[in-house]
């Protein structure tokens, strides 16, 4: 009976078990069906979300941002709901390993596992830390009143470029204090809730939750083993860098055996050190290669760069880029004006073959490497696109970046660049190879311990191994232990420095970056072995010059690994390709083996200590902390005067007494020495400010990117702040007379603040007034005369084109009136505000009169009188020209409108003169000899296939021929760049030299258009290259023009020479005899129309504004403006004007506060210099018709070079009259050069006007009703 019962129980149990197995099998089948459907649904959801993200990233609008946010929120809700559904399955018991893996990956809730309130608290804590990091602002080291410096770009720029330890220390302390310490309460809450979320997800701590992504219980130990492997190499590199920094900064700052003070390493977090490479590179004379010029020479385009990348992958037997890639990617910055995120990125849209890249690609070597890196991501997408949605990702978070970097390692080798024809005749010398490996090591090797400590620190906190009372010192202990660095000042537990790294504030795990830096070398080594390109110990096949291009074997190995996506644990994926299941530093060490050998030898030779002694830079008790050397408590007097924190280390009571007594009884000699010390300091800092501003302006010019334009604006603000601060210190010495006249002039020439001296409210108001007037002018839209309902006409080109083709006087008058109404009357109130505040600014800057501030850069307060004398000197020529133009207008419009003895109507004369500036063969201008066509040099330039580079070479030939050293062949490739967003208008697109304030380097931007004006302009701008180079030997305060627009005094004589018939014939742009007497008069006629009529216009605009500023006339007195116009120009308004009108702004083509007298002086001086040089070399002989001034060619006269060099080298160290004397032998401006140049034209005008019996001059005419303002406001027909 007992046995029967046992047997019955056995069969019952067996039956139940079988039923359970069947139930489990059924549930597993149901789960498999569910997961298939979910994967399909996930693909669709991810496609929609990626499309929304792409739309926003490629066209940043509020609408696209709204859609992106909504889709993301909707998907987040969906994923959370599905994760909860997945958790209802007991998937841990599934027999199907792959099904268990999918369920596990998709059922992770992460922080969403928290109750709603705690979830919001956690996100709020992270958000506050992120926000704190983003909003950090610090005060300027040199101007503590300027407190708007952000990490990017201002602080990072200083940290990466400055070599002043005190400045670097200041910014380090300020940033860490503000980016880290305030986060402590939020960080505590974050740690607490991170732990709760981990436990709700069945992890023991947040550390295990992060590490679980790597599918390997030994992962953490693998990392420790790797650091044991690479530590000897790291220590050798660390020791060498410390040694070189000690040479630079001395033992007081960098110890012989201790950790390196991290503020000296070119990066706020010392995570990579390549920014200081120029200080410590092993062989500074061996330059690294750059194939950018060769790419440009071979007409590379962004499309070609991607085609080359596609060819690279196809050569590996990998997948050809699908058509969708070419159809849908953004490979160049769009030109339709949209805003977009230009940072290069690869995108997977979770649809077969829909992969894209968004990259504002530029044709540079660095961008060429980036292209291949991003295409590495694309290949990964294509290889695993057959996988279910859950597996369409890298095998672990570090694999994707590693794959991209492998391709960059191969493509960047000299071997590959040679193979594809971008690096010809290049031999990889030992020294160059060491430099390349060293530079890579400062990034790849240095980064590893930094990345490890960032997560190791957080793991220990999550696990409770680091207690809250030790958070800060534990962080620095890890940084010291693994990286051998220390903070520049003592830190305590009252500080909290880890969140000063964004990824800690933002809760971003850092392990992915660390993994990618390690495994990329394992991947690279495996690929190189498969390609037969690497053989350990074989110097002919080193790992650092391996190119896997055209190796299907390497590609097939890659494909096998990539195709797995994340369907297998990463060790399985790695084993498929490399044969290894563990991460290892061995491949990295093999790559850097030549560098290790060199470092060991070099360090041994220099007896350098290897490793580092413990740091004492973190204390647990605040009372043990030394006083902060950046504190304003240390207010002492030495060379730190500009920083607001004078920096003397020790100060005895006796010295204090001595200092005070000495200051109170300072002698003239003491003041001079004091001023000299201050000026030296200012020049040092001024050089840095100028360099930064120049670089920012240059980048904005050649890039045109919004961020570079914003950078230029920020640099301008920093410059103005520096000028304001420095000038306030110099004010004490401004009226003193010193024995050292050079010092006296430096103080005098240092830029003076203008509006910056106003109170903040007034400064903003005058800036707003000026900007408002400028914007009204530039944004004016007028209604059409013939179609009044059309009201979107701009001055250029719409109205200009209409007037060019119109003979309708009423139509011309319509636009003339409407333009002045729009640009003048709307500006009256703003102009009055500007005048009032300008007077206030002049007073604040201690100018006797506002006009003294207006002409502050002239070294001459009576300059307006001198300019008026010059204008009067050319009046005989102007009167002849005026009579001729009046005659032309009379022939066109009739004697009723154009009186032969009266001023001509301005609106009609402006049409004629405007046609000269836009002269075309079919133009309105009637030349003196209309049957004599002026040869078209532009057509000849195009016919001879001139390019900007060829024009530049022609310019180099010219300057070499006049005795100046030829610019090197490398200048064009290294220093010249085309202007971004080119407008073909000659007024906005021209060549320009850029003073970099960096030794004798000069940058150069050019317009890619080719025509005769730009041909001339490139020759002229090359003179500025020499100008900037030669003045660089001066102190920074003298590295500029002695007078605004003085650089034209050098460039314009060159252009006058270049456009001479003799020169154009010499260089083959004109055929012999193509310019006869009549054609010559035609040429002079056009040039005279451009110049002679411009001078009095510029003069009255300055005279009118200066009289208003000085209070000689009222700002509302429009009639005074017309009196000046009639007196100096011989023109009257189109209709009667009153003081209710305001017409001067219609002529202000630049800012309301831009003076024009310097332009006038420069024009006269350029002809004076041209005449002097031409006489000196015998090209011009007064009275000799065979050697007229307008046909002087200076090329080939080598003696000119030394004259120019000596004058250029003066910079602004001498008064502009002294520089003029160096050029011409005379210190006063002589108009005879101008008059001699145009003498043939003057003779023709006199003859022609006499034959036509034309009157010279004009009778006074009343055309402006001199009323009080607003007297006729109610019925003013112009309103």
Per residue, the 3-state secondary structure of 648-690, as one string, reads CCCCCHHHHHHHHHHHHCCCHHHHHHHHHHHHHHHHHHHHHHH
Q: Looking at per-residue confidence, does 923 or 56 come out higher?
A: 56
Sort residue 353 into left (φ over 0), alpha (ψ -120 to 50) or beta: left
Q: Is 373 annotated as a binding residue?
A: yes
pLDDT in tens, 404-446: 888 888 998 889 999 999 988 777 788 989 999 999 999 999 9
pLDDT for residue 767: 82
238, 416, 503, 882: which is the annotated catalytic residue? Answer: 503
CB 498, CB 474: distance < 8 Å: no
Question: How far apart, in whole angstroms, are the C-alpha atoms of residue 1046 and residue 7?
Answer: 114
**Quick one: which of 414, 423, 409 has its CA closest to 298?**
423
CB 1163, CB 1141: distance < 8 Å: no
Residue 221 corresponds to which tokens in the numbers above? 């130990």
Helix 1199-1209 and helix 1047-1058: axis angle, to 10°? 160
Which of 40-54, 204-218, 799-813, 1246-1260 has the weakest average pLDDT? Answer: 799-813
pLDDT for residue 779: 74
Helix extents (H) in 1152-1237:
1157-1176, 1199-1209, 1216-1224, 1232-1237
Rounded mean pLDDT of 765-787? 78
Q: What angle do CA 913, 914, 920 make, to 5 degrees?
A: 105
Pairing verdict, β 485-486 and 260-261: parallel
Q: Which helix (H) or strand (E) holds 310?
A: helix 302-315
pLDDT in tens, 308-321: 999 999 999 999 99
Q: Which helix (H) or strand (E) holds 905?
A: strand 904-905
Residue 677 corresponds to which tokens in the numbers above? 């010390």
pLDDT for residue 125: 87
Q: Which of 74-88, 631-645, 1258-1272 has the highest mean pLDDT?
A: 74-88
Rounded mean pLDDT of 1096-1104? 91
Residue 705 corresponds to which tokens in the numbers above? 């990117």
Rounded mean pLDDT of 464-478? 93
pLDDT for residue 626: 40
pLDDT in tens, 1175-1188: 999 999 998 999 99
pLDDT surpasses 90 at 299: yes
Q: Is 386 annotated as a binding residue?
A: no
Pairing verdict, β 355-358 and 485-486: unpaired
pLDDT for residue 668: 61
**Quick one: which of 844, 834, 847 has its CA closest to 766?**
834
pLDDT in tens, 1136-1163: 888 888 888 776 544 577 889 999 999 9
Question: How far apart, in whole angstroms, are the C-alpha atoms of residue 982 and residue 827?
Answer: 30
Question: How far apart, in whole angstroms, are the C-alpha atoms of residue 450 and residue 469?
Answer: 23
pLDDT for residue 776: 65
Place of tokens 């297998």: 568
pLDDT for residue 142: 84
Question: How far apart, in whole angstroms, are the C-alpha atoms of residue 631 and residue 889?
Answer: 74
CB neighbourhood size of 789 (10 A): 6
pLDDT confidence band for 20 (50 / 70 / 90)? very low
Q: Which helix (H) or strand (E) holds 357?
A: strand 355-358
Q: Looking at per-residue confidence, does 629 or 44 come out higher?
A: 44
Which of 432-441, 984-993, 1258-1267 has the weakest average pLDDT? Answer: 984-993
Helix extents (H) in 592-665:
593-605, 653-664
pLDDT surpasses 60 at 656: no
Q: Is 377 annotated as a binding residue?
A: yes
> Who contacts 111 (Cβ-Cβ below 8 Å, separation ≥6)?
119, 122, 123, 193, 194, 197
pLDDT for residue 642: 37
503 catalytic residue (yes or no) = yes
pLDDT surpasses 70 at 836: yes
Q: What share of the chain is helix, strand, coil (3-state, %, to 5)?
A: 60, 5, 35
> Who contacts 175 (Cβ-Cβ below 8 Å, separation ≥6)?
136, 138, 151, 155, 268, 500
pLDDT for residue 662: 41
Half-sphere exposure of 661 (CA within 13 A, CB side): 6
Rounded mean pLDDT of 221-242? 93
Residue 1017 corresponds to which tokens in the numbers above? 């302009």
First to last CA, the chain: 122
Residue 619 φ/ψ, nearest 5 degrees: -120, 145
Q: Looking at per-residue confidence, does 803 or 1018 come out higher?
A: 1018
pLDDT surpasses 80 at 665: no
Q: Which of 698-707, 963-972, 1156-1165 has the highest mean pLDDT?
A: 1156-1165
pLDDT for residue 76: 75
pLDDT for residue 240: 97
pLDDT confidence band for 531 (50 / 70 / 90)? very high
Place of tokens 């391996």: 546
What residue ranges do the domains of the chain occupy?
298-411+511-594, 666-753
pLDDT confidence band for 610 (50 / 70 / 90)? very high
Burial of 553 (0-12, 13-18, 19+ CB in 10 A): middle
pLDDT surpasses 70 at 1128: yes
622 catalytic residue (yes or no) = no
374, 486, 701, 915: which is the annotated catalytic residue? Answer: 374
Q: Is 956 annotated as a binding residue?
A: no
pLDDT for residue 621: 47
Largest CA distance in the chain: 151
Which of 368-382, 506-520, 1242-1256 has the weakest average pLDDT? Answer: 506-520
Rounded mean pLDDT of 273-277? 90
Question: How far apart, in whole angstroms, are the C-alpha atoms of residue 437 and residue 439?
Answer: 5
For 286, which DSSP code? Answer: S
Rounded mean pLDDT of 959-978? 87
For 60, which DSSP code? Answer: -
Average model confidence (pLDDT) across the chain: 85
> Who contacts 714 (Cβ-Cβ below 8 Å, separation ≥6)?
153, 154, 696
**Quick one: which of 567, 618, 690, 693 has its CA closest to 1031?**
690
Question: How far apart, in whole angstroms, are the C-alpha atoms of residue 202 and residue 711?
Answer: 48
pLDDT for residue 1060: 94
Pairing verdict, β 1001-1006 and 992-998: antiparallel
Q: Looking at per-residue confidence, does 25 or 1258 come out higher?
A: 1258
> Who contacts 464 (Cβ-Cβ below 8 Å, separation ≥6)?
205
Place of tokens 């009055």: 832
Which of 139-153, 330-344, 640-654, 855-869 has the weakest average pLDDT? Answer: 640-654
Which of 580-594, 748-762, 774-788, 1079-1093 has the weakest average pLDDT? Answer: 774-788
Q: Is 400 annotated as a binding residue?
A: no
Q: What percent of the chain has pLDDT over 90?
A: 44
pLDDT in tens, 105-127: 888 878 878 887 888 888 788 87
pLDDT for residue 216: 81
Residue 1194 corresponds to which tokens in the numbers above? 């200076």
Question: How far apart, in whole angstroms, are the C-alpha atoms of residue 708 and residue 698?
Answer: 9
| Helix, coil or strand: residue 330 | strand
């Amino acid at each position: 009976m007992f046995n029967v019962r046992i047997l019955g129980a056995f069969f019952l149990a067996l039956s139940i078990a079988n039923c359970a197995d069947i139930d489990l099998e059924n549930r597993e089948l149901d789960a498999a069906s569910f997961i298939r459907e979910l994967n399909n649904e996930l693909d669709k959801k991810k496609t929609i979300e990626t499309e929304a993200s792409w739309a926003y990233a490629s066209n940043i609008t509020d609408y696209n941002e709204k859609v992106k946010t909504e889709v993301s929120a909707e998907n987040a809700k969906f994923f959370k709901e599905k994760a909860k559904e997945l958790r209802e399955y007991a998937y841990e018991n599934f027999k199907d390993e792959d099904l268990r893996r999918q369920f596990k990956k998709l059922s992770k809730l992460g922080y969403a596992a928290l109750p709603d309130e705690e979830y919001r608290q956690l996100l709020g804590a992270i958000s506050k830390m992120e926000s704190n990091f983003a909003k950090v602002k610090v005060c300027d080291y040199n101007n503590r009143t300027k407190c708007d410096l952000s990490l990017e770009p201002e602080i990072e720029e200083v940290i990466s470029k400055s070599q002043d330890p005190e400045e670097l220390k200041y910014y380090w302390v300020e940033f860490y204090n503000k980016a880290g310490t305030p986060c402590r309460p939020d960080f505590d809450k974050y740690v607490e809730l991170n732990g709760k979320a981990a436990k709700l997800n069945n992890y023991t701590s947040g550390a295990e939750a992060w590490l679980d992504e790597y599918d390997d219980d030994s992962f953490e130990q693998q990392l420790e083993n790797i650091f044991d492997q690479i530590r000897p190499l790291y220590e050798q590199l660390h020791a060498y860098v410390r040694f070189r920094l000690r040479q630079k900064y001395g033992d007081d700052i960098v110890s012989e055996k201790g950790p390196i003070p991290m503020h000296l390493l070119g990066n706020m977090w010392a995570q990579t050190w390549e920014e200081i490479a120029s200080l410590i590179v092993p062989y500074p004379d061996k330059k690294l290669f750059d194939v950018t010029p060769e790419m440009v020479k071979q007409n590379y385009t962004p499309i070609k760069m991607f085609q080359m990348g596609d060819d690279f992958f196809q050569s590996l037997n990998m997948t050809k880029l699908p058509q969708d890639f070419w159809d849908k990617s953004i490979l160049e910055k769009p030109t339709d004006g949209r805003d977009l995120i230009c940072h290069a990125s690869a995108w997977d849209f979770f649809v077969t073959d829909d992969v894209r890249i968004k990259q504002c690609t530029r044709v540079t070597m660095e961008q060429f490497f980036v292209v291949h890196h991003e295409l590495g991501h694309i290949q990964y997408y294509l290889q695993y696109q057959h996988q279910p949605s859950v597996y369409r990702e890298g095998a672990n978070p570090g694999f994707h970046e590693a794959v991209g970097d492998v391709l960059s390692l191969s493509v960047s080798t000299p071997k590959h660049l040679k193979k594809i024809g971008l690096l010809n005749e290049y031999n990889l010398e030992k020294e160059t190879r060491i430099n390349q490996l060293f530079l890579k090591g400062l990034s790849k090797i240095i980064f590893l311990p930094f990345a490890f400590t960032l997560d190791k620190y957080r793991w220990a906190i999550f696990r409770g191994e680091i207690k809250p009372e030790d958070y800060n010192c534990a962080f620095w202990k890890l940084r010291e232990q693994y990286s051998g660095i220390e903070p520049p000042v003592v830190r305590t537990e009252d500080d909290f420095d880890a969140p000063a790294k964004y990824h800690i504030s933002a809760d971003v795990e850092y392990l992915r970056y660390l993994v990618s830096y390690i495994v990329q070398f394992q991947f690279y080594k495996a690929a190189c072995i498969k390609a037969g390109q690497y053989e350990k110990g074989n110097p002919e096949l080193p790992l650092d010059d391996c190119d896997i291009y055209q190796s299907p074997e390497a590609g097939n190995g890659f494909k096998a690994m990539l195709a797995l996506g994340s369907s297998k644990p990463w060790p399985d994926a790695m084993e498929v390709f490399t044969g290894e299941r563990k991460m290892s530093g061995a491949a990295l060490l093999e790559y850097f083996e030549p560098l290790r050998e060199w470092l060991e030898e070099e360090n041994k030779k220099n007896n350098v200590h290897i490793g580092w002694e413990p740091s004492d830079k973190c204390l647990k008790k605040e009372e043990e902390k030394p006083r902060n050397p950046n504190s304003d408590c240390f207010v002492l007097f030495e060379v730190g005067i500009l920083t607001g924190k004078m920096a003397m280390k020790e100060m005895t009571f006796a010295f204090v007494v001595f200092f005070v007594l000495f200051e109170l009884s300072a002698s003239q000699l003491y003041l001079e020495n004091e001023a000299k010390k201050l000026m030296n300091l200012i020049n040092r800092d001024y050089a840095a400010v100028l360099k930064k501003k120049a670089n920012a302006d240059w980048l904005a010019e050649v890039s045109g990117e919004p961020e570079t334009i914003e950078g230029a604006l920020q640099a301008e603000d920093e410059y103005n702040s520096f000028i304001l601060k420095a000038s306030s210190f110099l004010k004490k010495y401004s009226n003193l007379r010193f024995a050292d006249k050079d010092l006296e002039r430096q103080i005098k020439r240092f830029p003076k603040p203008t509006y910056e001296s106003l109170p903040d409210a007034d400064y903003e108001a005058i800036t707003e007034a000026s900007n408002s007037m400028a914007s009204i002018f530039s944004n004016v839209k007028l209604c059409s005369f013939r179609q009044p309902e059309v009201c979107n006409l701009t001055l250029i080109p719409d109205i200009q084109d209409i007037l060019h083709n119109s003979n309708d006087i009423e139509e011309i008058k319509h636009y003339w009136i409407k333009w002045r109404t729009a640009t003048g009357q709307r500006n009256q109130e703003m102009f009055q505000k500007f005048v009032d505040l300008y007077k206030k600014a002049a007073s604040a800057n201690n100018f006797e009169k506002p006009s003294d501030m207006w002409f502050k850069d002239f070294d001459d307060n009576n300059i307006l009188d001198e300019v008026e004398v010059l204008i009067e000197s050319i009046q005989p020529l102007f009167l002849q020209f005026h009579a001729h133009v009046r005659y032309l207008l009379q022939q066109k419009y009739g004697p009723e409108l154009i009186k032969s003895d009266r001023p001509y109507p301005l609106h009609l004369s402006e049409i004629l003169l405007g046609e000269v500036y836009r002269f075309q063969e079919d133009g309105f201008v009637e030349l003196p000899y209309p049957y004599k066509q002026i040869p078209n040099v532009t057509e000849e330039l195009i016919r001879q296939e001139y390019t900007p580079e060829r024009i530049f070479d022609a310019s180099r030939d010219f300057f070499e021929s006049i005795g100046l050293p030829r610019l090197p062949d490398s200048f064009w490739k290294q220093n010249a760049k085309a202007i971004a967003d080119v407008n073909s208008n000659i007024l906005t697109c021209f060549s320009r030299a850029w003073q970099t304030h960096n030794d004798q380097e000069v940058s150069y931007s050019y317009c890619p258009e080719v025509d005769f004006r730009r041909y001339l302009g490139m020759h002229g701008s090359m003179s500025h290259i020499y100008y900037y180079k030669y003045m660089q030997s001066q102190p920074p305060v003298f590295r500029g023009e002695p007078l605004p627009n003085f650089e034209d005094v050098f460039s314009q004589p060159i252009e006058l020479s270049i456009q001479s018939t003799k020169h154009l014939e010499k260089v083959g742009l004109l055929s012999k005899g193509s310019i006869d007497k009549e054609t010559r008069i035609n040429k002079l006629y056009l040039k005279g129309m451009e110049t002679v009529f411009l001078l009095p216009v510029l003069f009255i605009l300055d005279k009118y504004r200066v009289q208003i500023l000085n209070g000689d006339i009222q700002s509302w007195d429009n009639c005074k403006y017309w009196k000046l116009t009639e007196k100096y120009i011989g023109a009257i308004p189109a209709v009667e004007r009153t003081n209710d009108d305001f017409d001067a702004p219609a002529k202000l083509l630049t800012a309301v506060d831009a003076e024009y007298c310097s332009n006038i002086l420069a024009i006269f001086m350029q002809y004076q210099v041209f005449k002097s040089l031409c006489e000196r070399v015998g090209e011009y002989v007064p009275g000799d018709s065979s050697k007229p001034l307008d046909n002087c060619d200076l090329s080939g006269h080598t003696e000119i070079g030394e004259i120019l060099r000596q004058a250029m080298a003066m910079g602004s160290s001498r008064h502009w009259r002294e520089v003029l004397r160096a050029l011409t032998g005379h210190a006063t401006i002589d108009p005879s050069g101008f008059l001699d140049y145009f003498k043939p034209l003057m003779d023709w005008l006199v003859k022609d006007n006499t034959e036509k019996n034309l009157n010279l001059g004009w009778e006074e005419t009343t055309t402006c009703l001199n009323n009080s303002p607003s007297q006729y406001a109610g019925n003013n027909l112009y309103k």
